[in-house]
């Protein structure tokens, strides 16, 4: 009897955790977003950590669909539904992916979702736990990019030497041969023959000077990082400057230069590099457009960056040329110059400047129907310099 009374006294004094106690523990985990879904995948609880990470107050998300945290690409790919199906099948589903906050900014997170069951095993809903790993993702991406840039630097030096020894040296040898012929035979040559050779020498020398200027700029991207000075810029202002510079070239071919960029479109970039990027792409479009054509520049905002589009109604390019267009290989440059297709080293300069500004470039084209160049630039100063490194997967112990 005394033993039973003793047990009863112990049980009476033992603290039994309440639902409120567990709620306080969950809310204390500020580095984790923890929330639950009902069976229709609507949010029905939202921790303070979720408020901190996503930016939504509790009353803003209760009753909202699970889809609210996923990017448009993931929604199109059926990621939310896939997570639930995996959780039901295997008891849990984990992933590492980019999620979207209230202010439309992206953050990288490790995620876990599992079914929530009742005492009798009936399905009540689901629990979703997220840990924000954006800083870790960005740091590892930056390290990967740095290692890759060191590897590319060696390739870059080899490419520069190859261009100097082949694409510049060979034409210079021809020019020396031509001037020697003029020197030895000038007194006996007809005036029109002399004029023809002088015209050829002038064109060849200006072409090589232009090529050398591009090469110097290209090298500067890799070796002179101290001149890089990015800031918030009004994109339309720079497009207008480039159009003014190239108006005469466009007018000769009666090409209409047109843009559809609003005054409030801002980018974070180096001003001199931005001018060079736009001027190279638009000049290239003029060069390869037919008379009476149109070149249109437009821009749109997506995922914290601006995508600029330069569309022409020119001759277009084959798939083979497009695949080699941004490849810094000496052979590619020589072939591009010989057949007068592609932009040669000018586009390599553009690619280098864009990479320096945390941007990228690509092209879509159909032979005979014109080309469209796309490039991206950030809208604000990045916290880290992130490249297009392969996706990093974090383990669950992260």
Residue 278 CA to its chain's centroid (Å): 17
Q: What is the 3-state secondary structure (H, E, C) of 93-123?
A: EEEEEEEECCCCCEEEEEEEEEEEECCCCCE
All structural domains of the chain, each given as residue ranges with its CATH number in brackets, are 2-132 (3.30.450.20), 138-378 (3.30.565.10)
Residue 374 confidence (pLDDT): 95
Distance, CA of 113 to CA of 131 (rounded, Å): 12
Residue 295 confidence (pLDDT): 94
Residue 168 confidence (pLDDT): 64
What is the residue whose two structure tokens read 């604000």?
380
Distance, CA of 185 to CA of 335 (rounded, Å): 33
Exposed (0-12), middle (13-18) or buried (19+): which is 58, by Cβ within 10 Å? middle
Degrees to nearest 5, angle at CA 111 with 109 and 115: 160
R_g of the chain, CA atoms, integer Å: 31
Residue 14 in tokens? 């033992």
Q: What is the pTM of this model?
A: 0.48
DSSP code for 40? T
Residue 373 confidence (pLDDT): 94
Distance, CA of 36 to CA of 84 (rounded, Å): 12
Residue 167 confidence (pLDDT): 58
Residue 296 confidence (pLDDT): 94
* Secondary structure E strands in 89-216: 93-100, 106-117, 123-132
Half-sphere exposure of 180 (CA within 13 A, CB side): 6
355's enclosing H/E stretch is helix 345-356
Give 266's strand partners. 234
Composition of the chain by helix, strand, coil, percent to 5: 50, 25, 25
With b for 16 or more beta-carbon neighbours within 10 A and e for fewer, the 65-80 pattern comes to ebebbbbeebeeeebb
| 312 Cβ neighbours under 8 A, 6+ residues apart | 285, 286, 288, 289, 293, 294, 295, 296, 370, 371, 372
Residue 47: how many other CB atoms lie within 10 Å: 22
Distance, CA of 233 to CA of 271 (rounded, Å): 7
Would you say the C-alpha torsion 14, 20, 23, 25 has a positive or negative sign? negative
Residue 342 in tokens? 């592609």
Q: Give the length of the chain.
A: 398
Contact present, 259 and 298 (Cβ < 8 Å): yes
Can you give the pLDDT of all 398 residues of the chain as single tens digits? 555 555 554 445 554 444 454 455 455 555 678 888 888 889 888 888 888 888 889 889 899 888 988 988 889 889 888 888 998 989 888 888 888 888 888 888 888 888 888 777 888 888 888 887 776 666 666 656 656 665 665 655 655 565 565 556 666 777 888 888 888 888 888 889 889 888 888 887 877 776 676 666 666 655 544 467 889 999 999 999 999 988 888 888 899 999 999 999 999 999 888 988 998 899 889 988 888 899 999 999 987 899 999 999 888 888 877 877 776 554 444 454 444 443 456 777 788 788 888 899 999 988 888 899 999 999 987 654 433 333 334 344 44
Would you say the C-alpha torsion 295, 357, 383, 69 has a positive or negative sign? positive
Distance, CA of 390 to CA of 186 (rounded, Å): 62
Residue 6 confidence (pLDDT): 52
Question: Which pairing describes strands 256-260 and 294-302: parallel, antiparallel, or unpaired?
Answer: parallel
């Amino acid at each position: 009897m005394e033993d039973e009374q003793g047990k009863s006294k112990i049980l009476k004094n033992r603290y039994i955790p309440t639902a409120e106690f567990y709620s306080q523990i969950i809310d204390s985990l500020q580095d984790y977003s923890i929330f639950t879904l009902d069976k229709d995948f609507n949010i029905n609880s939202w921790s303070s950590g979720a408020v901190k990470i996503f930016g939504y107050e509790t009353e803003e998300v209760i009753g909202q669909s699970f889809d609210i945290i996923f990017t448009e690409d993931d929604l199109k790919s059926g990621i939310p539904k896939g997570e639930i199906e995996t959780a039901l099948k295997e008891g849990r589903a984990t992933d590492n992916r980019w999620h979207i906050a209230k202010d439309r900014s992206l953050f990288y997170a490790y995620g876990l979702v599992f079914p929530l069951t009742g005492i009798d095993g009936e399905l009540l809903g689901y629990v979703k736990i997220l840990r924000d790993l954006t800083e870790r993702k960005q740091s590892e991406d930056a390290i990967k990019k740095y290692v890759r840039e060191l590897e590319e630097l060696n390739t870059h030096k080899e490419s520069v030497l190859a261009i100097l020894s082949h694409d510049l040296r060979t034409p210079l040898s021809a020019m020396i041969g031509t001037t020697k012929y003029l020197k030895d035979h000038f007194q006996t040559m007809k005036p029109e023959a002399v004029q023809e050779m002088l015209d050829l020498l002038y064109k060849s020398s200006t072409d090589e000077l232009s090529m050398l200027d591009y090469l110097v700029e290209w090298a500067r991207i890799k070796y002179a990082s101290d001149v890089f000075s990015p800031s918030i810029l009004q994109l339309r202002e720079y497009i207008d400057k480039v159009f003014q510079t190239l108006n005469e070239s466009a007018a000769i071919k009666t090409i209409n230069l047109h843009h559809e960029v609003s005054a409030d479109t801002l980018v974070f970039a180096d001003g001199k590099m931005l001018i060079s990027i736009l001027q190279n792409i638009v000049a290239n479009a003029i060069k390869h457009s037919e008379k009476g054509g149109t070149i249109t520049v437009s821009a749109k905002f997506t995922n914290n960056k601006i995508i600029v589009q330069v569309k022409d109604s020119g001759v277009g390019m084959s798939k083979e040329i497009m695949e080699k267009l941004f490849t810094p290989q000496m052979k590619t440059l020589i072939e591009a110059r010989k057949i007068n297709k592609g932009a040669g080293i000018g586009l390599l300069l553009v690619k280098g400047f864009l990479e320096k500004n945390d941007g990228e470039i690509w092209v879509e084209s159909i032979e005979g129907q014109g080309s469209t160049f796309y490039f991206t630039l950030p809208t604000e100063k990045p916290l880290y310099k992130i490249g297009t490194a392969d996706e990093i997967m974090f383990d669950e112990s992260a």
